Amino acid sequence: MPKFKFKAKDLNNKIIHGVFFAKDEEDLRAIISNLDYYLISSKKIQESSQLFTFLEKIRVDELSLFCRQLAIMLDAGMELNKCIEILKNNTKINKLKTILEVVHYDLMQGMMLSQSLAKYPKTFPVFFRNMIHIGELSGKMSLVLNKLADYYEKDNKTKRKVKSALAYPIFLLTLCMVILAVLSLYVMPIFKDVFTSLEAQLPPITTVVLKITDFIKNNILYILSIILLSIMAFLLLLRNQKFKKLYDQFNVHHSIQSKVVLASITSRFTNGFSTLLNSSISIVDALTIMSKLLGNRYVEEKMQVTISEIKRGQPIAKSLETINIFPNILIEMISVGEQSGQLEEVLNRVCTYYDDQVDYAIKKMTALIEPLMIILIGMIVIVVLLSIFLPMLDITSSIDTGV
């Protein structure tokens, strides 16, 4: 169904903007009118429009809060349509308000919640929609929504930890570059003028440092342009699936943050897999959904191998072992869960353990990187100080000898 961006006003003449699905402009006008709005203007949005993609996206923490609030109202005995209306009227998130306008209208027309949410795949992924559908079929919507809220809270917490860990070395590297830039643009030129005016014989270390700082000073715009273009080129390359797979494979097996990446993937896998199995989703479907939620193209392809093995009748543990991604202790635990018929309970117990493993991996990486970066910064400072003070000592010695 086509999407329309619209401008309308309510009964108080307040202007609102939003996006609705409608067959045509007349259908859109009828929808708007049923919501007590007056349509001022509208424009059909193409499927490839970046504007609509932007409008659909909301943060993970906002999605978690939406699930928690909806669960609380359903537990209180309120009807689903009324819950959506209250959330629509009270949310401060404009993008979510626009979406809930459509969802509320769809529910009034008799559509199921999962069907309405399927119109917004960028906001509500397959995992979310499948869980909602299970809640509808089982009659346990509030229970499913609480599980979704728990999942997204844990997932968001893990993502924040990993981002913080990766931001630290980037900060230190940026600090090194700033120090070099300040030395090149402001400090060394002053001493170069002094040494030149005194016709001092410069030691090799000073000569090398002056040449480096002169190069940086004279080509600073080119250097910044190259850095900026390199970052842009890298981000564009990440859109290429083959390059993305190679980059993700490097991150998993060879990069300095590989243990953090693996710990994060394992934590997200155990958390999501247990949530899906506890909601009575089949093992194959659960693994298919999880493969797309792990955020790693390389692991996603490996998971397809696991799924194929399970379809051929192989146990889950043996199938996961063949891809060489997850730690042996997890494989052993899954094997025990399969044999005992308590796989869901085993996964529930290991979730917390692997959440803690993310913290441990981050601390280890930080403990490794921090001294290395401090040593690097210290070496830069020492080399610069030597390049300044050695010729000054030579000048002082020459003056003393002359006297």
Tens of pLDDT along the chain (403 residues)? 677 777 888 778 888 777 766 777 887 788 778 777 888 888 876 654 444 444 456 788 888 999 999 999 999 999 999 999 999 888 888 888 888 888 988 898 888 999 999 888 888 888 888 889 888 888 889 988 998 898 888 888 888 887 877 777 788 888 888 887 887 788 888 888 888 887 777 888 888 888 888 888 889 899 899 999 999 999 999 999 999 999 999 999 988 888 888 988 998 899 889 888 887 788 998 899 888 888 899 999 999 999 999 999 999 999 999 999 999 999 999 999 999 988 988 988 888 888 888 888 888 888 888 888 888 888 888 888 888 888 888 777 766 665 4
Is residue 276 located within the same domain as residue 361? yes
Residue labelled with tokens 């070496």: 379
| CA–CA gap between residue 95 and residue 55 (Å, rounded) | 5
Domain span at 332: 161-403
Residue 162, CA distances (Å) to 72, 83, 301 in order: 31, 35, 22
Is residue 45 located within the same domain as residue 81? no
Residue labelled with tokens 């896998």: 269
- Residues counted in the chain: 403
pLDDT score recorded for residue 52? 45
Residue labelled with tokens 């003449």: 13
Residue labelled with tokens 């090398």: 208
| Contact (Cβ atoms closer than 8 angstroms) between residue 252 and residue 244 | no
Q: Which amino acid is at 241?
A: Q
pLDDT score recorded for residue 48? 43
Give the bridge partners for 18, in sequence order.
6
pLDDT score recorded for residue 400? 60
Is residue 338 located within the same domain as residue 223? yes
| CA–CA gap between residue 57 and residue 122 (Å, rounded) | 6
Is residue 236 located within the same domain as residue 335? yes
Residue 177, CA distances (Å) to 83, 101, 161, 299 in order: 53, 49, 25, 34
| Contact (Cβ atoms closer than 8 angstroms) between residue 116 and residue 107 | yes
Closest by CA position to 264, among listed 155, 370, 112: 155
Phi, psi (rounded to 5 degrees) for 243: -65, -40
Q: Which amino acid is at 291?
A: S
Is residue 180 located within the same domain as residue 240? yes
Closest by CA position to 88, among listed 75, 102, 106: 102
Is residue 355 located within the same domain as residue 240? yes
Is residue 396 located within the same domain as residue 365? yes
Number of structural domains in the chain = 3
Is residue 29 located within the same domain as residue 176? no
Is residue 83 located within the same domain as residue 171? no
Is residue 42 located within the same domain as residue 86? no
Is residue 399 located within the same domain as residue 329? yes
Is residue 179 located within the same domain as residue 283? yes
Q: Which amino acid is at 305?
A: V
| CA–CA gap between residue 4 and residue 28 (Å, rounded) | 8
Closest by CA position to 96, among listed 75, 132, 77, 70: 70
Query: Which residues make Cβ contacts (< 8 Å) with residue 187, sequence separation at least 6?
Result: 384
pTM score: 0.69
CA angle 278–309–281, rounded 5-degree value: 20
| Contact (Cβ atoms closer than 8 angstroms) between residue 306 and residue 284 | no
Instruction: Give me the CATH number covering residue 299.
Output: 1.20.81.30
In this structure, what token pair is assigned to residue 213? 């700082």
pLDDT score recorded for residue 362? 84
